[in-house]
Structure 1
Amino acid sequence: MSDVMDKTERTRLRRMHERGHFDRETVNGILDAMPLCHVGYILDGRPAVTPTLQWREGNHVYWHSSSASRAGRLSAGMDVCLTVSMLDGMVMARSAMHHSVNFRSVMIYGKATKIDDPEIKLTKFRNMIEAYFPGRWDLLRPVSAQETKATMVLSLPIEEASAKVRTGGPKDDEEDYALPIWAGVVPISFSVGAPISDPLNLPGVETPDHATNFRIG
């Protein structure tokens, strides 16, 4: 498998080609850093976008949804577009039209595959929890058959994909650098706070390391 994905008509950048990345290391790094994604699709002739959580296993990305939701009507083979975005900074220039943002994003196109086998679904549930909180699955109450039935899991191969990244400061018109206007970057980062225990926790139940050590970004 190549470390660099082929550009397609859907993934090639029309503008700002220097921001495009087609290597798996960049794409996978962004997917692994941000669990929240948006899945776009056409259902009943209407476009829709669903926010959900995603996790990566090798060269596939997975996400889940309620089987009773609109997104639950997605079927195997349906074309989807999955995106993940991270905001890293507000870029303030000397001209209003040169203001920008520093960001990292991934866009993946392909046909969704719905996982119907209950045992495979259960494995995917485990992989999802372990992707976010390593070591937590074995501590949890087992998933019931009804929960498995009520939750849909879909996957998408990471084949037709691209990343787009902007870093650095503002890029002004040459003559604007002589203007007495402050320009620069306001960095933005995700902050993970200390875990807040459920007041209904039983006495003596301690906060696990996978909650204390959770990180994102």
Structure 2
Amino acid sequence: MSTVAPPPLPPLSPTDRTAVRRGRNRAVVDRAALHALLADGLVAHLGVDVGDGAGRHPVVLPCAYAVDLDGPDDGGTLYVHGSVAARWLVGATDATVCVTVTELDGLVLARSGFHHSMNYRSAVVIGIARLVTDDAERARALDAIVDHMAPGRSATLRPATRKELAATAVLAVPLREASMKARAEGPVDEPADVAAGGWAGHVPLRRTADAAVPDADSPGPVPAHVAARVAALSGVRSR
């Protein structure tokens, strides 16, 4: 039986706001690389303006997140959640926000301070955040955020209570408008500095996880999905 290949993914940086201008040699245009980075990352930083009038100012907050590549928004959907009373969430609703995810893969130690750098993968997503009001989508998003921390975890938990759901809001950001940069090499020194001698190189970094520590009141062995997550997290390293 013949199969139809899926259509190619659109390139990154589809708008002027996400076009890479500095360090274009670090720009990543493959949208699949963005998807891989978002799958690897654990913490997003959300930038939003809060307050009113002269007191209006930007804030950047770390948050858990999840991605649904088949979500209802253009290019897929990135979800974040927070308290319904959070000032940042009120400020982000129906407003343009910026979400970043970065994975640090190494320290680059050059022969001059100017050329010291880092190896990294970093994504910027810009879009209008919408408040998720559909109950089914909100439930899927909250489960996805839990499962992004530990795949399979949500299926083992009790259902959320009405009080918990009433206290939690979910924001969705479209993935269409995004850019990504990456660096994965040693130092780029001036020829004169290389000729002068001196040590240079890079220090690869990788995420690792220790064995899961059961809560004092938690019976039985560590669940298989938790052990699998520990193993997977320990294996995430530079691409």
Same fold at TM > 0.5: yes
Q: Deviations over 1:126-179 (max 9, x none)?
A: 222233323222221210011111111111111110111011000001111112
From 64, 77, 85, the equivalent of 2:94 is 77
Q: 1:33/1:164 Cα in 2 relative to 1: closer, same or farther (>3 Å)?
A: same
Task: Classify 1:162/1:17 alpha carbon distance in 2 versus 1 (closer, same or farther; 3 Å).
Answer: same
- Which residue in 1 is equivalent to 2:225? 210
| Alignment pair present for 1:4 and 2:11 | yes
Show structure 2 runs of 5+ residues with no match.
1-6, 70-75
Paired with 1:74 and 1:67, the residues of 2 have a C-alpha distance of: 11
TM-score, normalization by structure 2: 0.85
Partner residue of 2:155? 138
TM-score by length of 1: 0.93
Q: Partner of 1:36 in structure 2? A: 43
After TM superposition, which residue ranges in structure 1, 4 or more long, deviate above 6 angstroms?
Answer: none
Give the SS at the match of 2:145: helix
**Cα distance, 1:121 vs structure 2:** 1.5
Query: 1 or 2, which has the higher helix percentage?
Result: 2
Over the aligned positions, Cα root-mean-square deviation in angstroms equals 1.5
Residue among 3, 22, 28 paired with 1:21: 28
Query: What is the distance in 2 between the residues matched to 1:117 and 1:60?
Result: 14
The separation in 2 between residues aligned to 1:74 and 1:32, in whole angstroms, is: 27
Identity over aligned pairs, percent? 33
Q: Which has the higher strand share?
A: 1
Q: Give CA deviations for 1:84-105 in whole Å, capped at 9, x if unaligned.
A: 0111111011111111110110
- The letter of the residue matching 1:43 is V
- Distance in 2 (CA, whole Å) between partners of 1:35 and 1:135 is 16
Give the aligned length. 215
2:123–2:180 Cα contact (<8 Å) kept: yes
Q: Which amino acid aligns with 2:132?
A: I
Q: CA deviation at 1:82?
A: 0.2
Distance 1:68 1:76 in 2: 12
